């Protein structure tokens, strides 16, 4: 069952990348020539990617240099160093990149995370624009459904329908063609500069950036944080309940897997701890090595998600081991209660500054190593009961 559990985790991780089952390729250079039409979704990872043809579905692209000159009928997703979108995109655009240039029409929404972003006069945005950028120049003739910006500098020279919310740490400049039909709310070190011709249809709200570390100060954020602090005990309790319910489900699906890991930790504690250290160090190192190569970015994303799932599973497995170690000798087999008790004790450890976190980390390392041993060396699973029960009189 443990093998089934591990294979299940590995099998489900890539689905967020390959959900539509397109043809996937990884190479040095990828070109979709002009005139060629792809009727399905399209996934490519390469050093350079150039799309001159038409894609009827969604496009998922990852590369050092990504250029889209053709038409995308669906959504466009790009992860790249330098990105140029010159063609037409009927639906939404989502880009994470270093330098991003959008020079073509977008039918719906645009979301950007970039170092330097430029949206030129040739671009139109039918929906909203959300951007987190170091520097952004926005000159599109029309933004259909509002603007949200967080970054260092923004030059706005576009017509924005609806409201605009801006956090510009260094500079916010509105050019002569800038117009906002709704309200403008912005935060920054200095007030926005409006060149002649710039218009604001609604009200202007400005809040100067402060250096206070008490709480964020952007349009009611302090009030929101205070409310969250008041609800924190309730949310933590609900989080514990959800975690316990998930644990019950996993225990019901993989009872043998839980027991095999517990036996591995009990019978081979030193080996479990050693393997746990290797996993905790090796998996992040491999992820970084894949991430620094453009072709390996999708693999790195899969490994990142897989590592997170394994870390969560290790907490549940260690909680089961600890709880069962405490309860079994006195109360007999109470697997569900053992899991709940273990989760509660691990939760309490997390509340202790520094030392609690260190102890929790060590316990999880034992659990990670126990997972490896139970998978690699099934011979360690003995036929006698784990933690033998004592006679009660």
Q: Using the 8-state DSSP alphabet, how is residue 106 labeled?
A: B
Torsion sign (Cα): 261, 266, 269, 273: positive
Cα–Cα distances in Å, from 18 out to 12, 145, 171? 10, 30, 40
Predicted confidence (pLDDT) at residue 36 exceeds the cutoff of 90: yes
More confident residue, 65 or 239: 65
Question: Which residues does 196 contact at the CB level (< 8 Å), separation at least 6?
Answer: 176
Give the highest mean pLDDT range of 313-317, 381-385, 387-391: 313-317
CA dihedral of 51, 53, 54, 57, whole degrees rounded to 10: -40
pLDDT at 207: 85
Predicted confidence (pLDDT) at residue 64 exceeds the cutoff of 90: no
Q: Using the 8-state DSSP alphabet, how is residue 177 labeled?
A: T
Alpha-carbon span 329 to 335, nearest angstrom? 12
pLDDT at 68: 95
pLDDT at 20: 35
The pairs formed by 307-311 with CB atoms below 8 angstroms and a separation of 24 or more are 307/283, 309/9, 309/13, 310/9, 310/279, 310/283, 310/368, 310/371, 311/364, 311/368
Q: Using the 8-state DSSP alphabet, how is residue 378 labeled?
A: G
pLDDT tier for residue 126 given thresholds of 50, 70 and 90: very high
pTM of the predicted model as reported, rounded to 2 decimal places: 0.52
CA 63, chain centre distance (Å): 19
**How many CA atoms, within 13 angstroms, populate the side-chain half-sphere of residue 301?**
13
CB contact at 8 A, 256 and 345: no
pLDDT tier for residue 233 given thresholds of 50, 70 and 90: low
Q: Which residue has the tokens 């897989």?
A: 306
Q: Which residues pair with 12 in a beta bridge?
A: none
Q: Which of 7-16, 36-45, 190-199 has the lowest mean pLDDT?
A: 7-16
Q: Across all residues in the chain, what is the average pLDDT?
A: 79
More confident residue, 163 or 388: 163
More confident residue, 152 or 338: 152
Give the residue extent of every domain in the chain: 23-223, 225-380
Q: Which of 114-128, 205-219, 253-267 has the lowest mean pLDDT?
A: 205-219
């Amino acid at each position: 069952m443990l093998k089934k559990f591990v294979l299940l985790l590995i099998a489900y991780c890539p689905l967020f990348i390959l959900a539509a089952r397109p043809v996937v390729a990884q190479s040095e250079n990828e070109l979709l020539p002009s005139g060629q039409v792809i009727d399905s979704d399209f996934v490519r990872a390469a050093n350079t990617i150039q799309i001159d043809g038409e894609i009827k579905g969604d496009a998922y692209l990852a590369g050092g240099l990504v250029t889209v000159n053709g038409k995308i009928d669906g959504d466009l997703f790009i992860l790249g160093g330098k990105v140029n979108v010159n063609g037409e995109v009927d639906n939404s655009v989502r880009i994470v990149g270093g330098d991003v240039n959008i020079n073509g029409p977008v039918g719906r929404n645009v979301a950007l995370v970039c170092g330097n972003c430029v949206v030129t006069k040739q671009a139109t945005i039918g929906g909203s624009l959300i951007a987190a950028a170091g520097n952004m120049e926005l000159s599109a003739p029309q933004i259909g459904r509002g603007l949200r910006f967080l970054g260092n500098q923004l030059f706005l020279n576009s017509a924005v329908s609806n409201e605009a919310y801006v956090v510009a740490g260094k500079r916010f400049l509105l050019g002569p063609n800038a117009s906002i039909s709704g309200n403008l709310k912005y935060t920054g070190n200095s007030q926005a500069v409006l060149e002649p011709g710039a218009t604001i249809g609604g009200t202007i709200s400005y809040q100067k950036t402060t250096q206070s570390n008490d709480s964020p100060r952007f349009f009611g954020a302090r009030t929101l944080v205070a409310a969250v602090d008041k609800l924190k005990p309730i949310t933590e309790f609900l989080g514990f309940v959800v975690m316990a319910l998930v644990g019950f489900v996993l225990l019901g699906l993989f009872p043998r897997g839980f027991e095999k890991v517990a036996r591995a930790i009990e019978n081979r504690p030193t080996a479990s701890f050693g393997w746990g250290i290797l996993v905790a160090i090796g998996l992040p190192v491999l992820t970084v090595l894949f991430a620094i190569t453009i072709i390996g970015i999708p693999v790195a994303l899969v490994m990142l998600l897989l590592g997170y799932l394994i870390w969560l599973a290790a907490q549940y497995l260690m909680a089961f081991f600890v709880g069962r170690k405490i309860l079994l000798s006195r109360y007999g087999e109470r697997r569900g209660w053992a899991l709940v008790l273990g989760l509660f004790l691990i939760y309490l450890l997390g509340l202790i500054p520094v030392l609690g976190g260190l102890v929790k980390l060590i316990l999880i390392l034992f659990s990670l190593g126990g997972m490896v041993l139970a998978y690699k060396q099934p011979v360690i699973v003995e036929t006698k009961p784990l933690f033998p029960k004592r006679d009660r009189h």
